[in-house]
């Protein structure tokens, strides 16, 4: 993974790079780099990742299908610090 300084458009935090699995129509396409905001937990696909996922989906015959929910696991909300 390449180091980049990219910020979240929502809260301007520096995004961190992670490898996450991508599953489309039940087919595992592999692990790809995504950018994750440490504050709001939003996930962004770098342009290279989008191209690589599209190529993998085309190669496996699932291009144009929806990504499965497992590909983007939900992140629990941060606990309320007042009650912690």
DSSP string, 42-66: -EE--HHHHHHHHHHHHHTT-TTSP
The pTM (predicted TM-score) of the whole model is: 0.66
Q: Is residue 2 part of a domain?
A: yes
Structure tokens at 22: 């991508």
Nearest to 47 by CA among 64, 62, 58, 35: 35
Domain span at 4:
1-62
Tens digits of residue pLDDT in 6-54: 899 999 999 999 999 999 888 999 999 999 999 999 999 999 999 999 9
Q: Is residue 21 part of a domain?
A: yes
Domain count, the chain: 1
User: How many Cα atoms are found within 13 Å in the side-chain-facing hemisphere of 38?
Assistant: 7
Higher-pLDDT residue of 65, 83? 65
Q: Is residue 84 part of a domain?
A: no
**What CATH number does residue 31 fall under?**
3.10.20
């Amino acid at each position: 993974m390449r180091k980049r300084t990219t910020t979240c458009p929502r809260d301007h935090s520096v995004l961190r790079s992670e490898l996450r699995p991508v599953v489309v129509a039940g087919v595992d396409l592999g692990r790809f780099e995504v950018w994750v905001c440490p504050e709001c937990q939003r996930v962004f696909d770098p342009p290279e990742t989008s191209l690589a996922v599209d190529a993998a989906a085309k190669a496996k015959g699932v291009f144009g299908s929806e990504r499965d929910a497992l590909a983007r696991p939900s992140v629990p909300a941060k606990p309320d610090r007042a009650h912690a």
